[in-house]
Structure 1
Amino acid sequence: MKLLTVLILMIGLSGCFAKERTTTGEWVGTKMPAFNLLLSDSTTYLSTQNIPAGKPVLFFYFATYCPYCRAQLEDIIKDINKFKDTHIYMVTNSPYSEVKDYMKEFKLDKYPNITMNLDYKNFFIDSFKVKGVPFMAVYNGDKKLQETFSGKVPTSDLLSNLDN
């Protein structure tokens, strides 16, 4: 039974890693793709075409079970004042019930610049070729890609790619 539990845990965490950042290379400078996400109210959709230009955007793809994602979010929240001019779109394909619990745990409703989204069509994971979580895509105020990060990264790396 212990072996089965360990095996299940290892499989679950296989997509969760804490490697150094990886860059997008040829994608840097490309416009934000158009796609829809389901907001946490489970009835409203967000179209990336409707995200206003002028302020940087951080897409944070995560899994509710991932300890590195949790640590990354804790770091961001700790420095939330430094992200005051950035809108953070949390994106996941985790089950809705887990997402609601995650939002409560981190008290995400306190942060007007953080929006929880469900990637119900897996567009984000397919478009960015996400191989693990956490994964972040940083866009400047012109909605052009600055950088992507795979794995947990220092908040300073995220902030240095924002054009606040």
Structure 2
Amino acid sequence: MKKTNLIILIVVLLGGATYLGYISQIGTTVEAAELTAPKTLPDFTLNDINGKPFSIHQLAADKPTLFIYFSSTCHLCQEELGTLSKRIDEFKDYNLILTTVQPVEEIIEFANGLNIKNKPFVHFLLDADMNVATFYQIRSVPSIYVYDSKKQLVAEYVGITEIDLLLEKLDSGK
């Protein structure tokens, strides 16, 4: 009986430690001194989901910009972008650039499901050659970057991030 209880205790402790490690990574905020993303929004030219090339700087214009690298098959990305889509009108004063390496057909289907692709401030771009992913050294999705109106990095996050925090950071970048 003692051996069974010991095994159960070990399994519970390992499971708890794994869960706490996972939870600690969701919505991780990187402090300003630790920011690893490019300090200035890079100016790659990528095709949108209609095949038209766009410069990231052209899309960001002179507004604070939320740049999200995602995968439509990632459950964390689905949750983050699903929550964002429910509050999409709160982002109308900013630009959202959503970038992925996935095939265009998958992204169109995903974008249609979110019901945000026709918003003039939302842009889905395809990183077909993984240039942006390599430049940012993307290791996990969603990777979220907030740039101010001068295209300077304000904050970066990995994982699910509170929408209110994103809006606060975007607002500070006006």
TM-score using structure 2 length: 0.75
Unaligned runs of 5+ in 2: 1-24
Deviation, structure 1 residue 29: 8.2
- Which of the pair is proportionally richer in helix? 2
Q: Percent identity of the aligned residues?
A: 25
Tell me, in whole angstroms, the C-alpha distance in 1 between the residues paired with 2:92 and 2:55.
Answer: 22
2:87 aligns with 79
For 1:1-164, list aligned pairs within 5 A. 19-23=26-30, 25-27=34-36, 30-42=39-51, 44-51=52-59, 53-162=61-170, 163-164=173-174
For the 8 Å contact 1:28–1:144, the answer to whether it is kept is no
Deviation, structure 1 residue 124: 1.8
Deviation, structure 1 residue 19: 2.1
For the 8 Å contact 2:117–2:124, the answer to whether it is kept is no
Of 135-144 and 121-130, the range deviating more from structure 2: 121-130
Q: 4+ residue stretches of structure 1 with deviation over 3 A?
A: 26-29
Q: Secondary structure at the match of 2:111?
A: helix
TM-score using structure 1 length: 0.80
| Superposition RMSD in Å | 2.0
Q: Secondary structure at the match of 2:28?
A: coil
Unaligned runs of 5+ in 1: 1-17
Q: Which residue identity does 2:94 align to in structure 1?
A: T
Deviation, structure 1 residue 155: 0.6
Q: Which residue identity does 2:27 align to in structure 1?
A: E
Q: Secondary structure at the match of 2:125?
A: strand
1:13 aligns with none
- Equivalent pairs counted in the alignment come to 146
Tell me, in whole angstroms, the C-alpha distance in 1 between the residues paired with 2:91 and 2:59.
Answer: 17
Higher relative contact order (CA 8 A, sep 6+): 1
Of 128-137 and 73-82, the range deviating more from structure 2: 73-82
Q: Which has the larger radius of gyration?
A: 2
